[in-house]
Amino acid sequence: TINHFIPGSILARSILHEAGAEISLEAVKEHSKILNKLFRNEFIYPTKTTLDEAFEETVAAFSVRGFIDLSGSNEAPDVIIKEAETLEMLASFLDVFVEAYWATIKSLDILQEFPLWDKELKARCMENCRRFYLKGKVSRPEAANRTLVESCINWLIRTNVLNLQENGKKKTVSLAP
């Protein structure tokens, strides 16, 4: 079900991220692209439309529903927030994902000291996610989710933030230089 709300959730989070009196639609679009790349393995995206088309359709839907208005020139429009509570509610659908990725990344400090086996790294990240929730640094207990922690680690490997070395059955993870 959440896949249905993801385009709106990403747009809402991007608008709120850029929060100000006048929000550049282009800046919102760039932030949306970053979130779409980050979470591309978490959600099912429609294959019949491009991300740009989905972005434009979602902006139009938000405008028609009165969540936002667009002002300024057609070449460089600005976004005016009309229904902040609605945008905050839609943006909150991503909270678990954002918090799980944040907690996982914050857990990588240990790799500055020495590499870890991949299973040990995942276990420590899970433990830190739980600890962050108990300390109030993360608001969603579901952020301590093994699948999300693994997705984040895989994303960090794909983006060359982490190195993965395989030696037989053992996989060692270290920070990239």
Helix (H) or strand (E) holding 163, with range, is strand 162-167
In this prediction, the residues of the chain whose per-residue pLDDT falls under 50 are none
Residue 167, pLDDT score: 86
Residue 68, pLDDT score: 92
Residues forming a β-bridge with 23: 79
Edge-to-edge strand ranges of the sheet holding 68-71:
23-24, 78-81, 68-71
Residue 72, pLDDT score: 81
How far apart CA 45 and CA 97 sit, in angstroms, is 16
Residue 4, pLDDT score: 74
Residue 21, pLDDT score: 64
Contacts of 29 (CB under 8 A, 6+ apart): 14, 55
Report the predicted TM-score, pTM, of the whole model to 2 decimal places: 0.83
